[in-house]
Structure 1
Amino acid sequence: MLEARTGQQLVTSRVWRIETSLKPLLRERGMTSTDQLVAAMLKGSEHGLADRVIEALLNNETFFFRDHGVFQLLNGEALEVLRAARAARRRLRIWCAGCSTGQEAYSIAMMIADAPERWQGWTIDILGTDISSGAVERAQTGIFSQFEIQRGLPIMMMMRWFDQEGENWYASAELKRRVQFRRHNVLEQPPMPGRFDLILCRNVLLYFPSAVRTAAFDRLASAIEPDGVLMLGAGETVLGQTAKFVSERELRGLYRPAVLGEASKAA
């Protein structure tokens, strides 16, 4: 059911996640086994139960500035390349696909907001999407626990962009205005009209079987500008997965659409 609805596959090494992830749902319903939960879903008497099971099985692991070195590269050479290429229109469209609870999209927003001179007069559209409606709803609130706020977020950024109330931290209204969130499956038609200059699709594709991963890369390729930049997770690569993207020697760890990338290598 998970694979049919989301494209994600629970391989043998991840089967343990089923029982672990569903425990809160079992407790809520006074059930003692996943068999009882399966029986309730098959019976079909409870509206939305299957959706809640899917939500529970999705991996929403994320944190601010995950893989800090790649974010440094992104904030330096990569965004500078895009800034030079978009100097005439002074606009960037950024898509965080599989954004989970929003830390990644907010990281990008803070990075740009903290360089006002660099981006003065620019329009920066940042869109975060995820297949989990629960994750998207949480991202939209901009509320993070003490544990979440301490994962990867420099203290100066934390104090500048978040306010503490009790045990939670709340993103400022200005930061929230910089990001939009929407429910979307990366296997569907890309969101928003037009193409994106920068796409982050991190730690999403590794959960897909090979054929589905190739289809996802096709979707990403159809959504990116010919000279755009793609950022994957630390354990992900385009090598042997797709012919639509290639490594960029000028931006190690990031990827470009194949036509541009091959032209760059030839030069």
Structure 2
Amino acid sequence: MENQQQLDQNSSTTLTGPENLEMSAAAASATDGAAAAALRSVLQRVHQAAERCGRPSDRIRVVAVSKTKPVPLLRQVYDAGHRCFGENYVQEVIQKSPQLPEDIEWHFIGNLQSNKVKPLLTGVPNLAVVETVDDEKIANHLDRAVGNIGRKPLRVFVQVNTSGEESKSGVEPAACLELVKHITVSCPNLVFSGLMTIGMPDYTSTPENFKTLANCRAEVCKELGLKEEQCELSMGMSGDFELAIEMGSTNVRIGSTIFGAREYSKK
């Protein structure tokens, strides 16, 4: 996967970003090289965490979460050899996707509303995964939209609320299996590929949160006759990705550690 690719040491290329991303190309140029260096550091930490638990690091995907960041910074990380990026907002990924190479593997990792499904699928032809399917309704909307558009089947993860926080999206752990069954039986245009959870409010998680997701995977695999490698675990972000890897994560979502603090518009 991406963290095993040869990284280009000369990764200073920038492109002109969209005006409404709150950061000009000149500002991006001022931080030129920092994101590529941060990516290399993250990949090294991923490798070390994998070594500590006896896992091959090439089985762990790093999703570079570029929420609120301008196209020049994404391009810098792309030029450093990375190909997997994640976005939280439909409008933002629709805006960025056409400005970047088509071989990017986009992961949608935000809350997805039914009325945004078609714009997301039509606006991002290289969308690889929706990681945040948390009920049958959104699964059905995705399934119908994929079929109507005629694109290849879409990989999806089921989002599980492992912390029990009311503010969090995600199916309850006890209901995870039934949602997975619905996707595999009733959504022919979707490919169930794994489970996802979001960390605590400070973007960290306890071992119990990760253990809960691993337990959900064990139940799903047992009931559906799947091998564990057929059910990914998307868990771990900037504050806790090493712990997540040590507890079995195959997909870590790293934002601020690569791109710096998020910059929100002041409205």
- Establish whether TM, by shorter chain, passes 0.5: no
Specify which structure has the higher proportion of strand. Answer: 1
TM-score norm. by structure 2 comes to: 0.27
Q: Which has the higher contact order (CA 8 A, sep 6+)?
A: 2
Higher Rg:
1
